[in-house]
Amino acid sequence: MKRPNSWFPAAAVLLAGIVLFTGCIPGPKPPYLIDQNTLEYNTPQIGKVVPFKETIRLERFGVAQAYNSTAMVYKPSPYKMAVYQGDRWRVNPGDLVTDFLLRDVRQAGLFQGVFSYRDGENTRYVLEGGIEEFLEIDEQASGKAVVSLTITLLDTQSKEVTKRIIFQKQYKADEPLSEQSASALARGISKVMGDLSALILKDIYLALQTQGK
């Protein structure tokens, strides 16, 4: 006579106990969610301007390697860098800064036409830039958002290479943060970018006015 399998009833009881204890059969873990952050500020108003009958193209800004990713970087202490684990920038800071400055130059009405590097248009003026700092720096219980940019405005129609650079200037500003968090950093960087954008727009307009005299 064949001996019955005594292990099957015991296994069934054990499985039923697991289901009753956990409420369900174990399954795959839900995906780890990352909050995506972007900039948000209104285009600066620089007063009444007379548009130049020329066109300009904004090249994509370069980014220092320490910030050349979508990581939201903060500096908790000297010689140390860290990133917020549950948050990232929606896109690379180079794209963030380029796209928002492109919007600002267009809405400011300084030029007859404003194009991005994606358009491939040949324009008289070209605006280039680089991001040197784009982070939160913590100081004891508080912190500040810091942005440092280098801007170069070029006149491509100038026959002399040395005279193609209309101006090259570094811009840097910071904004105190209400707390040390990714959302506070996004708000702080937005405030700083709004302030820097206003300065850049004014400098472009004044430089071209001077050039035309």
d(CA 212, CA 206): 10
* Tally of domains in the chain: 1
| pLDDT tens-digit map of 200-209 | 999 999 999 8
Tell me, what CATH number does 137's domain have? Answer: 3.40.50.10610
Assess whether pLDDT exceeds 80 at residue 31. no
Measured in whole angstroms, the distance separating CA 123 from the mean position of its chain's CA atoms is 26
Domain extent for 197 = 53-212
CB 67 within 8 A of CB 132: no
Q: Is residue 47 part of a domain?
A: no
| pLDDT tens-digit map of 159-209 | 887 789 999 999 999 999 999 999 999 999 999 999 999 999 999 999 998
Residues contacting residue 28 through CB under 8 Å, at least 6 positions apart: none
Q: Is residue 10 part of a domain?
A: no
